[in-house]
């Protein structure tokens, strides 16, 4: 499978997921973006189009803790800190939007760390 085909397949998968997954005030959408070296996660209320909580591997809290760690371990730290921030704001339940990525590797690590830290989805 060439890179062009895999990106097209991912876009189709993401579009299909976004038709079914929407965030509300009581249950925001946990949106994940994965780049080559970093991972970003946000809790979004789609009814107002507002980001409630965000966390990234580029964030100063994460980058200090993750020096020398692999990408999956960094994703776990991002998931844990995102869940802590969400719980501080009173958000306990979320809808998971994997962004067209397969539930595997860094996406899975972030989701399981967020679950372990107290988020329900």
* 82 half-sphere exposure, CB direction, 13 A CA radius: 38
Within-domain flag for 59:
yes
CATH number for 34: 3.30.420.100
Token couple for 113: 């760390």
Q: What is the 3-state secondary structure (H, E, C) of 31-42?
A: EEEECCCCEEEE
List pLDDT tens digits, range 101-115.
889 999 999 999 999
Q: Which residues pair with 53 in a beta bridge?
A: 43
Token couple for 66: 């993750």
- Domain limits at 36? 3-116
Question: Do 113 and 83 touch, CB atoms closer than 8 A?
Answer: yes
As a whole number of angstroms, the distance between CA 97 and CA 56 comes to 16
Comparing C-alpha atoms, which of 102, 108, 114, 103 is closest to residue 78? Answer: 114
Tell me the mean pLDDT in the region 25-50: 93
Total count of domains within the chain = 1
Within-domain flag for 121:
no
**What is the value of pTM for the model shown?**
0.85
Within-domain flag for 66:
yes
For residue 2, pLDDT beyond 70: no
Token couple for 12: 């189709």
The CA dihedral of 67, 116, 13, 6, to the nearest 10 degrees, is 30
Q: How many Cβ atoms sit within 10 Å of the Cβ of residue 117?
A: 17
Name the least confident of 14-23, 30-39, 106-115.
14-23
């Amino acid at each position: 499978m060439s890179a062009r085909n895999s990106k097209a397949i991912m876009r189709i998968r993401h579009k299909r997921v976004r038709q079914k997954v929407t965030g509300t005030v009581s249950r925001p959408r946990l949106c994940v973006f994965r780049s080559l070296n970093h991972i970003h996660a946000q809790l979004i209320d789609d009814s107002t189009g507002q980001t409630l909580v965000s966390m990234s591997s580029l964030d100063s809290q994460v980058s200090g803790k993750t020096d020398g760690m692999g990408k999956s371990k960094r994703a776990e730290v991002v998931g844990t800190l995102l869940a802590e921030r969400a719980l501080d704001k009173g958000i306990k339940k979320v809808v998971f939007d994997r962004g067209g990525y397969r539930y595997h590797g860094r996406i899975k690590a972030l989701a399981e760390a967020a679950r372990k830290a107290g988020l329900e989805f």
